[in-house]
């Protein structure tokens, strides 16, 4: 009698592997072979899966299920022509087998023909009442096509079939998020929780939606229910801590972050949040302790290095701030945020040449923030390299053409460079953008605010603006 693969799957696998080690040939039901093959494929043991298919088809040459598993392996190995040929053979025997269309859809999907895959899956839907897996596959195809509305609908159907299908529930919420329909997500999750009031996953997702909308009291309530539903749910404690931080309740936030550490191996993210909370409370020694642990736990976490650097920077301990940002740069010299931070430290230390170099590195690595252009031009201004300062501002204005801040600074730099025509042009444009920010020009370049033509231009623009 063949082993019942559902009751004794391990025995079927052990028996099969025993057979491979000997010259004996054991008989298995086709269903046993399916169980064995699924086991190997699910565990990434493709060669053993192929061996089981080969022996299975020798014992059961007419088994369509084993042939379909052979198709699956051929598709996995990108042997699409062979897979399609075998599917043609199967279809001649059983034209109404939905698995044929599912496998054809898989082949199309792997070749990035996602619309064709969708069409095949829709055909498969008409051939079976067991549509759960097909809706799940449709959802993934729609995601590949960036059709988040249809993807959402497909995953919703999966959740309708099985309330405990959290993978589909996550995908539904992901679609809502991508569509920036947070209200829709909240409504959907509340409906779901009406049916499943103890679903810690749904409460957790609901809390994240409220958090995204800055509805912190509501988010806190949702995370509380997530914890009540499962008091070992680390993600809920962590998110609850983040909400409590937003509400300024740092001691309570610390308790929640400490809960995550006590339940599982500490994470760099938990250490980082603990450091931030203690710094807010003025517990500087504890803040340093947790920041150090953050970078020790995960040396590649840029937020950790930036936090410990910022901590010393705020304390005006620039030597230590520089030490830690240089350690970060030695680990990941391609991180533009590290170079930007190094530039600010060098500037605070009046090491202008190094600040200039660091800002250049930050920009070369893709940091194009307005603050970067403004600060870099200031460094060059203080060095006395007015031409380069102007070039940096012009580059910055390519990214931020409506920035009055950069335009006023550019006007001042042209004046310092004795280029009156360009100064008039830049100053006019800056005032037309934002007349109220004229005080920035007066504060940074007081030596020019009383110049006759500057006063006349300001007066003219102000009259026009009335």
DSSP 364-432: HTT---HHHHHHHHHHHHHHT-HHHHHHHHHHHHHH-TT-HHHHHHHHHHHHHTT-HHHHHHHHHHHHH
Last-in-domain residue among 61, 95, 129 = 95
Joined tokens for residue 202: 């749904």
Half-sphere exposure of 172 (CA within 13 A, CB side): 26
Last-in-domain residue among 62, 95, 128 = 95
Residue 256 lies in a domain: no
Predicted TM-score (pTM) of this structure: 0.75
Residue 411 lies in a domain: yes
Q: Compute CA distances 262 → 215, 234, 266, 292, whole Å.
A: 28, 10, 8, 19
The structural domain count of the chain equals 2
Joined tokens for residue 256: 């929640």
Residue 444 lies in a domain: yes
Residue 267 lies in a domain: no
**How many Cβ atoms are within 10 Å of 342's Cβ, its own excluded?**
24
CB-neighbour burial class of residue 466 (10 A; exposed 0-12, middle 13-18, buried 19+): exposed
Give the C-alpha separation, 313 to 307, whole Å: 10
Per-residue pLDDT of the chain (466 residues; tens, 9 = 90+): 233 334 445 777 888 888 878 777 778 788 888 888 888 888 888 888 888 888 887 888 887 888 888 878 888 878 888 888 888 888 788 888 888 888 889 888 988 999 999 999 999 988 888 888 899 999 999 999 999 999 999 999 999 999 999 999 999 999 999 999 999 999 999 999 999 999 999 999 999 999 999 999 999 999 999 999 999 999 999 999 999 999 999 999 999 999 999 998 889 999 999 999 999 999 999 999 999 999 999 998 889 999 999 999 999 999 999 999 999 999 999 999 999 999 999 999 999 999 999 999 999 999 999 999 999 999 999 999 999 999 999 999 999 999 999 999 999 999 999 999 999 999 999 988 988 888 888 899 988 877 888 888 888 877 776 5
Backbone angles phi, psi at 145, to 5 degrees: -90, 5
CB 286 within 8 A of CB 292: no
Residue 297 lies in a domain: no
Look up the CATH number of the domain holding residue 445: 1.25.40.10
Residue 142 lies in a domain: no
Residue 336 lies in a domain: no
| CA 130-134-136 angle, 5° bins | 120
Last-in-domain residue among 95, 117, 142 = 95
Task: Tell me the residue range of the domain where 373 lies.
Answer: 369-465
Residue 204 lies in a domain: no
């Amino acid at each position: 009698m063949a082993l019942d693969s559902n009751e004794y799957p391990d025995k079927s696998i052990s028996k099969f592997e025993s057979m491979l080690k000997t010259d004996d040939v054991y008989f298995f039901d086709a269903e046993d072979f399916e169980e064995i093959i699924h086991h190997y494929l699910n565990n990434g043991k493709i060669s053993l899966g192929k061996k089981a298919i080969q022996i299975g088809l020798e014992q059961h040459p007419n088994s369509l299920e084993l042939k379909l598993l052979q198709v699956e392996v051929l598709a996995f190995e990108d042997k699409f022509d062979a897979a399609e040929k075998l599917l043609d053979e199967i279809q001649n025997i059983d034209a109404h087998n939905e698995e044929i269309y599912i496998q054809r859809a898989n082949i199309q999907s792997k070749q990035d023909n996602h619309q064709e895959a969708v069409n095949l899956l829709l055909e498969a839907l008409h051939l079976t009442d067991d549509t759960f897996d097909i809706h799940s596959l449709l959802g993934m195809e729609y995601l590949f096509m960036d059709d988040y509305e249809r993807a959402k609908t497909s995953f919703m159907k999966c959740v309708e079939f099985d309330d405990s299908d959290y993978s589909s529930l996550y995908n539904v919420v992901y679609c809502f998020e991508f569509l920036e329909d947070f209200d829709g997500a909240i409504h959907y999750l509340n409906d779901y929780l009406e049916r499943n009031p103890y679903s810690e996953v749904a409460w957790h997702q609901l809390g994240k939606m409220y958090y995204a909308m800055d509805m912190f009291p509501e988010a806190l309530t949702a995370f509380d229910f997530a914890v009540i539903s499962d008091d070992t749910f680390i993600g809920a404690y962590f998110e609850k801590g983040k909400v409590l931080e937003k509400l300024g309740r740092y001691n309570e936030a610390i308790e929640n972050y400490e809960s995550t550490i006590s339940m599982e191996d500490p994470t760099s993210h938990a250490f980082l949040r603990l450091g931030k909370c203690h710094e807010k409370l003025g517990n500087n020694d504890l803040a340093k302790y947790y920041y150090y642990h953050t970078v020790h736990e995960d040396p590649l976490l840029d937020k950790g290095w930036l936090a410990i650097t910022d901590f010393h920077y705020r304390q005006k301990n620039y030597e230590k701030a520089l030490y830690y940002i240089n350690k970060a740069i030695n680990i990941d010299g391609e991180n533009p945020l590290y170079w930007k931070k190094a530039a600010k430290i060098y500037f605070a230390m009046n090491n202008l040449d190094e600040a200039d170099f660091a800002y250049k590195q930050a920009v070369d690595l893709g940091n194009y923030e307005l603050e970067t252009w403004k600060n870099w031009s200031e460094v060059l201004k203080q060095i006395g390299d007015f031409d380069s300062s102007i070039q940096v501002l012009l580059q910055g204005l390519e990214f931020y053409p409506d920035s009055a801040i950069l335009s006023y600074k550019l006007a001042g730099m042209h004046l310092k460079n004795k280029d009156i025509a360009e100064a008039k042009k830049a100053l006019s444009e800056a005032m037309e953008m934002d007349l109220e920010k004229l005080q920035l020009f007066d504060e940074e370049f007081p030596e020019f605010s009383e110049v006759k033509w500057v006063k006349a231009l300001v007066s003219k623009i102000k009259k026009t603006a009335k």
